[in-house]
Amino acid sequence: RRKYPHQPTFLQAVEEMALALSDLFDGPDGDFYQRAFLAMAEPERIIAFRVSWMDDNGKIRFNRGWRVQFSSVLGPFKGGLRFHPTVDEGVLKFLGFEQIFKNALTGLPLGGGKGGSDFDPKGKSDGEVRRFCEAFMSELCRYLHPSTDVPAGDIGVGGREIGYMYGQYKRITNRHGVGVLTGKSMNFGGSEIRPEATGYGLIYMTKIAVQRKLNRNLTDMRCAISGSGNVAQFAAKKLLEFGAKVMTVSDSNGVIVFESGMTATDWDAVSDCKNKHRGRLSSIQDKVSGQYYDGESPWSLDIKYDLALPCATQNEIDEKSARQLVKNGVLGVLEGANLPTDLEAQAVFRKADGVIYVPGKASNAGGVGVSGLEMSQNAQRLTWKSEKVDEKLHGMMDEIYSMMEEAELSGGTLEQGANRAGFLKVATAMRELGWVY
């Protein structure tokens, strides 16, 4: 806290993890675990750079770019790039820290990292986005290698941006067909199911949790989703497939509430709005069956949901919203976004009797899991069929749930199970590498 008072979200992520590990710290090997935790909380390396690019008026513009190479204990640094005006070193450190444990849970040999820029893609032309991505990669490319650091997408970075960055990487390095980015197009080394993976993985885990804890399936369950980006769209799609009622989607301006549940036509309208037109949800209010509320979010409205699936951004659910969700009888909160629930709201869910609470590092691990599979396919120079990737994704989410369940059976919670399993794997590897003793 003394060292990083200007990085509150990073401190929040570390505190959340430390709270979940307190039993370990007080246990027989506690001194070692504390040392390992302190080592894990300090990134191995942070690269910061200037990104200069030209706007449509021919003017030079400057942004800040970063890559936080947090932990290479389990394998190459792996984690997305975020382009959003709120990005700074502290936000990327929080995301990179979470990523270490999430990647450990996938069972794949992946270290943790995160990067991005304070560039705001909103309102930028396609040419401006392309020139920014090229300028960003001109700096970043010297630090990437399939066995060193392999970034992917995150907020503001989807297939289009990954394509432009990979294009620039190929131009500069003359290396083609190497997996230095994941989330690539199927035309140049992408994996089937990668765009869908985070959202689908979240719903696979939700289905497992609902089956095992509530002994029911998702049919007709009222599910609130926040966001309308990559994770939210594919979470909604899988929920529709499973017969659940998707009650909401949102963006940073407002929320659409589907009182009778989202339809397949509504889903197409949202996907078109966000992917083709890069528009606001307000622009499709006359095209969907739901009602648009400007300035609201799924968590600010007093509505009964069975399941809350936050898929937008960090700290979107605060204590007040959490209390409202519990009062309205929410049965489960499973996080698609990273740290969408703030510390006070987490405390509310932990105390609420019988509410299933699964932190993002477990429930959104499907994205990086399939990124890991994309790396394997690139290394083999092969493309696996979508059924195979989907089956592996399903298997991964199942495994992660079983790890959490083990902790629950020995008196803990699902949340503690997720945090512990990830931490123990990294701590043990650090001891074996001789990095902490």
* Residues at the interface with ligand NDP (CB under 6 A): 153-156, 158, 198, 227-232, 251-253, 311-313, 336-338, 364, 367
Question: What is the smallest separation between the CB atom of 94 and ligand NDP, expressed in angstroms?
Answer: 10
CA atoms within 13 A on the CB side of 100: 30
238 carries an active-site annotation: no
As given in the structure block, the two tokens for residue 312 are 């937008």
C-beta of 158 vs 189, nearer to ligand NDP: 158
Q: Which residue in 78, 93, 102, 114 is the catalytic one?
A: 114
The Cα 12–Cα 426 span in angstroms is 20
Inter-axis angle of helices 30-40 and 414-433, to 10 degrees? 90
Are the C-beta atoms of residues 162 and 130 closer than 8 Å to each other? no
Question: What is the smallest separation between the CB atom of 45 and ligand NDP, expressed in angstroms?
Answer: 21
Classify residue 336 by its DSSP letter. S
C-beta of 149 vs 251, nearer to ligand NDP: 251
Q: Which strand ranges, in their side-by-side order, compose the sheet holding 356-358? A: 291-294, 254-257, 245-250, 222-225, 307-309, 332-334, 356-358
C-beta of 230 vs 321, nearer to ligand NDP: 230
C-beta of 231 vs 345, nearer to ligand NDP: 231
Are the C-beta atoms of residues 249 and 268 closer than 8 Å to each other? no
The Cα 200–Cα 312 span in angstroms is 15
Q: Which of 371, 380, 340, 366 is nearest to 250 (CA)?
A: 340
Locate tokens 């629930």: which residue? Answer: 341
Residue nearest to ligand NDP (CB): 229
The Cα 124–Cα 129 span in angstroms is 6
C-beta of 231 vs 400, nearer to ligand NDP: 231
Classify residue 283 by its DSSP letter. G
Question: What is the smallest separation between the CB atom of 31 and ligand NDP, expressed in angstroms?
Answer: 33
Proportion of the chain in helix, strand, coil states, percent, rounded to 5: 50, 15, 35
C-beta of 133 vs 155, nearer to ligand NDP: 155
Question: What string of DSSP letters covers 83-130?
Answer: E-TT--HHHHHHHHHHHHHHHHHTTSS--EEEEEES---TT--HHHHH
Question: What is the smallest separation between the CB atom of 99 and ligand NDP, expressed in angstroms?
Answer: 9
The Cα 374–Cα 386 span in angstroms is 12
C-beta of 161 vs 427, nearer to ligand NDP: 161
SS3 79: strand
C-beta of 153 vs 372, nearer to ligand NDP: 153
Question: What is the smallest separation between the CB atom of 77 and ligand NDP, expressed in angstroms?
Answer: 15
Question: What is the smallest separation between the CB atom of 364 and ligand NDP, expressed in angstroms?
Answer: 4
Query: Cβ neighbours of residue 60 under 8 Å, at least 6 residues apart?
Result: 52, 53, 54
The Cα 289–Cα 392 span in angstroms is 35
Tell me the sheet residues that pair with 151.
Answer: 79
Query: Cβ neighbours of residue 293 under 8 Å, at least 6 residues apart?
Result: 254, 255, 256, 257, 301
Q: Could you give the residue numbers annotated as active site?
A: 114
